[in-house]
């Protein structure tokens, strides 16, 4: 039925494949990886990319959006169950595990964050939105925990959320360091929180 690649559907598919290929390439080779290397990866030419995204920044923007989305989904999974406290700690562990997984994907994410803040102002809105969402989500977790009694009620939920947020960003950068370093840092932070909450 829908199998007839009705030309426009083929286009959509191509576009998606290009985004995937870009994520893959840029993850591994860094943001410098060239335009038509990506195209070649899916058996197309530069013309196709240009057609679908208009410019390199166009592709970059879509890639950023997609990457952020994927990461968010993974985090949601990692903090889906248990008391508020458990979910919060789960999110921290999950983040750390993902960042430390050595997956090039998180190299890309870091690069994109940095680029958005510095050289590529057009990506800034995406970054901003993502930050806001993350902070809001963290605050919710804390509040939930305070509601169900798993987190001390005499702490400002917002302040805690912001601290965790900042530290998570620190972990994002620390993916560049040896795994042992990462692991120790995470354990230390978790311990601190555990006694604190």
What is the distance of C-alpha 66 from the center of its chain? 9
Radius of gyration in angstroms for the set of CA atoms belonging to the chain, rounded to a whole number: 19
82: contact with DNA by CB under 7 A: no
Q: Interaction with DNA in 2-21: which residues (CB under 7 A)?
A: 4, 6-8, 10-12, 14-15
Tokens (6 digits) for 102: 């050595």
Which parts of this chain interact with a second copy (CB under 8 A)? 30, 32, 107, 110-111, 113-114, 116-119, 127-128, 131, 156, 158-160, 162-163, 165-177, 181, 184-185, 187-189, 191-192, 196
- Chain positions 24 to 63 lying near DNA, rule: CB under 7 A, are 32-37, 39, 43-48, 50-52, 55-57
Q: Which does 39 bind (CB under 5 to 8 A by kind): DNA, a second copy, none?
A: DNA
Where helices occur in 118-156 by DSSP H, the ranges are 124-147
Among residues 12 and 187, whose Cβ is nearest to DNA?
Answer: 12
Determine the Cα–Cα distance for residues 149 and 83; give it in Å rounded to an integer.
9
Q: Token digits for 194?
A: 């555990």
The answer to whether the beta carbons of residues 18 and 48 sit under 8 Å apart is yes
For residue 121, state whether it binds DNA (rule: CB under 7 A).
no
**Nearest alpha-carbon partner for 25 in 11, 1, 42:** 42
- CA 116, distance to chain mean position in Å, is 13
37 binds, among DNA, a second copy, none (CB under 5 to 8 A by kind): DNA
Chain residues in the site for DNA (CB under 7 A): 4, 6-8, 10-12, 14-15, 32-37, 39, 43-48, 50-52, 55-57
């Amino acid at each position: 039925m829908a199998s007839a690649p009705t030309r426009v559907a083929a286009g959509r598919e191509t576009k998606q494949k290009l985004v995937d290929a870009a994520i893959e390439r840029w993850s591994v080779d860094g943001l410098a990886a060239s335009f038509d290397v990506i195209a070649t990866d899916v058996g197309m030419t530069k013309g196709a990319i240009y057609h679908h995204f208009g410019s390199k920044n166009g592709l970059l923007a879509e890639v950023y959006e997609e990457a952020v989305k994927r990461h968010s989904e993974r985090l949601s999974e990692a903090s889906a169950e248990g008391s508020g406290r458990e979910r919060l700690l789960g999110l921290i562990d999950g983040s750390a595990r993902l960042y430390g997984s050595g997956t090039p994907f998180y190299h890309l994410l870091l690069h994109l964050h940095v680029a958005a803040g510095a050289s590529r102002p057009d990506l800034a809105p995406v970054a901003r939105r993502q930050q806001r969402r993350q902070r809001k989500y963290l605050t919710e977790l804390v509040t939930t925990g305070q509601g169900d009694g798993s987190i001390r009620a005499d702490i400002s939920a917002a302040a805690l959320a912001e601290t965790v947020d900042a530290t998570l960003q620190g972990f994002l950068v620390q993916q560049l360091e040896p795994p042992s370093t990462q692991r120790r840092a995470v354990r230390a932070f978790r311990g601190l929180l555990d006694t604190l909450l």
